[in-house]
Amino acid sequence: MNINYRSRLWSGLLLCLCVAGVYAPVALAQQAAMPAVVDGAPLPSLAPMIKRVAPAVVSIGVKGVVRESGQRNPLFDDPFFRRFFGPDGGQPSEREFESAGSGVIVDARLGHIITNAHVVENAREITVVLQDGRELKATVVGSDARSDIAVVKVPADKLTQIALGDSARLEVGDFVVAIGNPFGLQHTVTSGIVSALGRTGVSPEQGTYEDFIQTDASINPGNSGGALVNLRGELVGINSAILSRTGGNIGIGFAIPTSLARGIVDQLVRFGSVRRGVLGVTTAAVTPAIAQALGLPAAGGALVQQVVNGSAAEKAGIRAGDVITSLNGKSLKTHTELRNAIGLLRVGDNVAIELLRDGKTQRVTAAIGESTTASAPAAEGLSDAPSPEDAKPPHPALEGAALGDAPNNGGVTVRTVAPGSKAAGTGLRVGDIIVQANRTLIDNVKKLRQAAANASVVVLRVRRGREDLLITLR
């Protein structure tokens, strides 16, 4: 390469760089600028929808008293030392508190507002602040801790209510908007998508009804009881909880779907409480492993583990081992869906049930009944002497249980269960009789050992008194 050619090459490169330096900012500015219209239409905005629905979202201030139980100091019983401990001496005491949350007006004519049960828990005074600044005193119409839904009432004066949407039509990826009062910042709007549906196991409380919508729309303390709406401005959920290590939003929030809240609100307004009926079954999820063990065509539905004597399920002919696949024509994906659906029904309601039994579809009708408790009958005629075959459990999960052959090839009897053992964790009780493992009838311990050999999951059919139930060994 000669010197003249090099000079021309460097001159060209410098010219290109200069041109780029002049025009690049212009080009970047043109790319960064948002166009005023797209295809002749203005850019979409959530503002019109927010203006329409925001007046239906309120701030709720609560004042109340909680009772705190302190550990009683034994020295308080001595008159000499009592004066050093104050008047209560470690007795339960009351503490005043103030908290804040959100709510959604669902009936402007009656002044009804939905919020979370935990927002108004232990409340002595409730103040509702509207978007226009008005402060209204509220009273509790009804509250249901198991679904975390409450209804409060304010004077019906120039209120704006929100339209109820169908949360059952939501899909993962749908856009949603959360409106509430996080950290006391009234009428804050955040947006995101539906991250997941049907979330359970969120609440640490036992016996709760859960079918949460998970969203990444920012939800923070104070958002509880606020609105989760779709892009049409319809209420699809009541913001209820967050998953957080710091107490702030990390993109995982949960809302109670309107499909669950609607029935609860109806009962709270009519009765002041939720009058739940029961079907009378204990169920479990049908996992792929359980489906394979039981020879089911696919996972899904609710596996009936136990039927309570005298319950609506027993009267309808439901048996342990059945898989309930549909309720009132709606398919069930999980046993949680069955529990939630039954929890919304009242005593006396008739429900159409579709189930699988021995690979065949059956249909029954049950009249929802009141709660009943089955007591386990005492074991009779059992010997405490272990059989030689008890030395090694037929399955690792049976470790700690002494098993023996039932009379007349009637199955395998559970003779003893060591407290805290693996067998105790399965739910087996002394006196239970194992009659089936997966799809194999069990005559004795040897047959049980053969059926459980090399099986990671074993579904036992157990006879307990007059009841049959299923117990899954993993």
Q: Which residues does the annotation mark as catalytic?
A: 118, 148, 224
What CA–CA distance (Å, rounded) separates 166 from 259? 7
What is the dihedral angle through the alpha carbons of 346, 350, 351, 356, rounded to the nearest 10 degrees? 130
* Residue 344 CA to its chain's centroid (Å): 14
Return the structure tokens found at 64.
């109340």
Strand partners, 107: 112
- Please, which residues have CB within 8 angstroms of residue 187's CB and are 6 or more apart in sequence? 54, 57, 59, 131, 179, 181
Q: Which of 373, 391, 328 is closest to 354 using CA atoms? A: 328
The b/e string for 76-99 (b: 16+ C-beta within 10 A; e otherwise) is beeeeeeeeeeeebeeeeeeeeeb
Q: What is the DSSP string of 90-149?
A: T--EEEEEEEEEEEEEEETTTTEEEE-TTTSTTEEEEEEE-TTS-EEEEEEEEEETTTTE
3-state secondary structure of 306: strand
Q: Which of 178, 149, 148, 143 is closest to 57 using CA atoms? A: 178
What CA–CA distance (Å, rounded) separates 151 from 274? 12
What CA–CA distance (Å, rounded) separates 276 from 146? 11
Q: Which of 133, 256, 231 is closest to 187 using CA atoms? A: 133
Strand partners, 323: 303, 356
3-state secondary structure of 235: strand
Torsion sign (Cα): 120, 126, 128, 129? negative
* The residue to which tokens 């900012």 are assigned: 25
